[in-house]
Amino acid sequence: MCWDEPVQLNGELSVYQLTWGAYHKNLSHNLTSYTISGLQSNSQYNVTLQAITAGGVGPPEWEVVTTDKGVNVGGIVAGVLVGVLLLAVIVAAVVFRDKLKDKLNKGTSPTLPPRELPMTPRQPSVANSNVKKNKLQEYLEYLEGDTQHGLEMEFSHINIQSPSLPAFAAKKDFNKPKNRFANIHPFDHARVKLSPISGVTGSDYINATYILDIYDKPYFIASQGPKQSTMVDFWRMVLEQRVYTIVMLTNVMEKGREKCAHYWPRPSESFINVGSYIVHNHREERRELYSIRYLEVVAGDQKRVVKQYHFTSWPDFGALERVTDLLDFMADIRSTMLANGDHLLVHCSAGVGRTGTFIGLWNLMDESDRDRRAESINIRQTVLKMREHRPIMVQSAEQFLYLTKCIAAYIEAPHLWSKYQEDNNHIYDNGAFEDDNPIYANTEGQ
């Protein structure tokens, strides 16, 4: 693909942002062409390009591109993005100018961000993405109709409006080996920080992010599946962040590749040592699609039982066949999870696709429960709000469609999956393991 340079800019051009399907890439401001590799043959893609300066992000230029049938597209040129990126970032410039005026009026000096990063406030405009609850089936028909062209367009809007924010910590050389995937980085402003270990560079870093609930509290932690080399950090995070419930949405191995380290004892083991932590599996309950484990982690004088819900039937990048599969799983967690704890830890392999779909559905269900009389629901806004904290949450269009189907089913019959079901047969009272003076504290805060 190729393009012309913008003819009118608000400040010096710093980077181009290229989006196709569920993928993003920042390109050097010196480029006027780029070859997209790895596209599937006989497939349609929405390709979008935006110019970014210190003043903000310009309006998108986009084109629908269809790859040839039967052609080797390993290095295919996706097509030509037409036109000139006119009047780039004028709107963002006004917002930026007004903010500068406010700071000057207060007698303070504005601090500009690094030139290579978009500075924009970029609150996505989602006023037109509200869906009437009684029109959800029509909305689903729109998404799935015409060979899912509506779904492609809707997901393209989400990708265009998703922010690209600084992730300096994740990209430091000493932290790179801790990332399971080279392109999934927690944004700096929302990353979970471990208590630093004296003399150990980067000891506060883990690939995990706080995600807000509907009350704008950082209730969720979205994490990658721990690697063998980060299992100690994973359990350190569980204790420091007062996690009592873990939701695992991946298998340890998928398609012959490790997707997550086996951070709890195998059936043949009574316990495992993870650094200075001892992890026991006290009990395991098996369901058709998932397992529930009661894992006790011991660190010195501190003990804690953590309840792990492990869903084993969700394909990577994809969705489940039935909405009831996830809704039943969600209802079980919401009605039986341990009550204590500050955060709900959710992870798959990368911590964005299945993890984002799960947290998104949780928030949409809570939103529906909070006001059953509300006429509309905003699924796109829910996804964008998560993406302001961690990139690519709800990774694929297929997952967005599945999320929409799930919340539509819940709104139609909320009583089937209410989180207020009572479970009075809890064998484990986790309070017995609570330490009023835990030896771990996140000294750097959130």
% of the chain at pLDDT higher than 90: 60
Give the residue from 392, 330, 389, 339 showing the smallest Cα distance to 362.
Answer: 330
Q: Which amino acid is at 237?
A: M
Catalytically annotated residues: 348
Q: What band does 113 get if pLDDT is binned at 50, 70 and 90? A: very low
What confidence score (pLDDT) does residue 67 get? 72
Provide the β-strand partners of residue 279.
Answer: 272, 297
Q: Tell me which residue of 303, 335, 316 sits closest to 417, measured CA to CA.
A: 335
The distance of Cα 270 from the centroid of its chain, to the nearest Å, equals 34
Q: 11: pLDDT confidence band, cut at 50, 70 and 90?
A: low
List, in order of start, the domains of the chain with CATH numbers. Answer: 1-122 (2.60.40.10), 168-433 (3.90.190.10)
Over residues 120-144, the pLDDT tens digits come to 333 333 335 789 999 999 999 999 9
- Where is pLDDT greater, at 293 or 21? 293
| CA 279/CA 236 separation, integer angstroms | 12
**Closest by CA position to 211, among listed 111, 336, 351:** 351
Q: pLDDT exceeding 70 applies to what percent of the chain?
A: 72
**What local confidence, expressed as pLDDT, does residue 304 receive?**
95
pTM of the model as a whole: 0.69
Query: What confidence tens digit (pLDDT) does each residue in 246-272 have?
Result: 999 999 999 999 999 999 999 999 999
Report d(CA 237, CA 221) in Å as an integer. 10
pLDDT of amino acid 418: 77
> How many whole angstroms separate alpha carbon 379 and alpha carbon 305?
34
- Give CA 229 to chain center in angstroms: 22
Pick from 6-10, 238-242, 267-271, 428-432 the range whose average pLDDT is largest: 238-242
Give yes or no for residue 426 having a pLDDT over 60: no
Tokens encoding 11: 């400040």
pLDDT (0 to 100) of residue 16:
78
Write out the H or E segment, with its range, that includes residue 298. Answer: strand 290-299
Residue with the bigger pLDDT between 4 and 431: it is: 4
Instruction: Return the pLDDT at 124.
Output: 37
Q: What is the DSSP string of 37-102?
A: -SPPTT-EEEEEEEEEETTEEPPPEEEEEEPPTT---TT-------SB-TTTTHHHHHHHHHHHHH
3-state secondary structure of 356: helix
What is the pLDDT confidence band of residue 146, given thresholds at 50, 70 and 90? confident
